[in-house]
Amino acid sequence: MPCRLRSRLRVPLTAALLVAGACAAPAFATDATIPLAAEQAQLLGIRTEAATAARGIPLEHLPGTLEPALERSAVVTAPYAGTVTRVLAVEGSEVAAGAALARVQSRERLMLEADAARTASEARLAASQAARDAALLAEGIVPASRAEASRAQQVQAAAAQAQAARALALAPKSADGAPGEYELRAPLAGRVLERKVVPGQALEALAPAFVVADASVLDVAIRAPANLRERLAPGLAVTLDGADARGRVLSVGSAVDAASQTIPVRARFDAAPSLAPGQPVAVTLELPAPKGSLALPRAAVVRHGGGNVVFVAEGNGYRVVTVELLGESTTHAIVRGALAAGTPVAVSGTSALKALLAGAE
């Protein structure tokens, strides 16, 4: 039988001489063995590594955007209309809970101060009247209805005083502030992400002035392929491409975007100096690996006959094993087949092994 290896192999001359003896070998089939001495394998540059159990299947280069943690961020609004007199914090400032961010001069605040003083006076007067009528009732001088009316008036006056106090508490006054001037304060400790006010600016009631967020964590909003929705779940590992940052999936959305056929996924990371809200990032999700999945260097998996094979080192040769490619990253492939963790698999020189296999078929 003529040797077809010489005409079909595209290997260096030395390699061709080494495999010349294989011409008399029987035709190879998938899951068969390619006989090859150790010296020949070394000269062909064949090197093996042990297969390892796969921790997960990487889903790489998903688009994402860094955002502040939703439940750890807050918008500071102006409770009453007014004019900004001072700005005490800027973007990037670290602030404690309750720290003053800006001061606002407000006519509404000034009117509330007067209202609070009036209701406090009325409450004191009503309390005194109720006490006097209660004493007179005990002596039988006034009827019970009068004492009850005084008591009701006291309750109403106390309620009006409490309401005025709550209204003032929404716009706390600084220690050295002018009448009618109040402070916008941070509702939580963190970093000022946005500042929307400048001195002299007129603010409407409930207008947003600052965004403050906890600086210790960041979320990443990810768009993942909709066909993977059933395999995505909270707790999956996430990494940021090009950054030493690992996190976990917090939630997986259910609504599919019609244009991109993706679903929203939110993950959380510990903050790092290189990460900032609003920054676009590429993300790698680690999907659960089926039982029996193995991780191999990408070079170990070879396309052959419409499928994928690996070359397992055993005895004086390499057994061809068909595998199912479950996923791959820039460095590794995740496969499943008639392999076990620890099995030595060829990770370099596979092109020569493939040529031997093709030449003998």
> Which is it for the CA torsion 86, 92, 96, 98, positive or negative?
positive
**Any domain includes 137:** yes
Domain span at 249: 58-70+215-287
**Any domain includes 31:** yes
Helical (H) or strand (E) element with 28: none
pLDDT tens per residue across span 185-210: 999 999 999 999 999 999 999 999 99
Give the mean model confidence (pLDDT) for residues 1-12: 33
**Any domain includes 186:** no
Q: 347 and 321, same structural domain?
A: yes
CA–CA distance, 298 with 356 (Å, rounded to integer): 20
- Res 360: pLDDT: 58
pLDDT tens per residue across span 280-311: 999 999 998 889 999 999 999 999 888 999 99
CA–CA distance, 5 with 19 (Å, rounded to integer): 8
> Which is it for the CA torsion 172, 176, 181, 185, positive or negative?
negative
Number of domains in the chain: 3
Judged by average pLDDT, the poorest of 88-92, 97-101, 275-279, 342-346 is: 275-279
- For residue 274, how many C-alpha atoms fall within 13 Å in the half-sphere facing its CB? 7
**Any domain includes 87:** no
Q: What is the DSSP letter of 258?
A: T
CATH number of the domain that residue 257 is part of: 2.40.30.170
Q: Do 332 and 56 contact (CB within 8 A), yes or no?
A: no
pLDDT tens per residue across span 208-231: 999 999 989 999 999 999 998 988
Number of H helices, E strands in the chain: 6, 23
pLDDT tens per residue across span 37-82: 888 888 999 999 999 999 889 998 999 999 999 999 999 999 999 9
Q: 38 and 12, same structural domain?
A: yes
CA–CA distance, 4 with 28 (Å, rounded to integer): 13
Residue 287 CB coordination number (10 Å): 19
Q: Do 59 and 194 contact (CB within 8 A), yes or no?
A: no
pLDDT tens per residue across span 103-113: 999 999 999 99
**Any domain includes 49:** yes
**Any domain includes 352:** yes
- For residue 342, how many C-alpha atoms fall within 13 Å in the half-sphere facing its CB? 0
pLDDT over 80 at 29, yes or no: no
Token couple for 141 = 């001088």
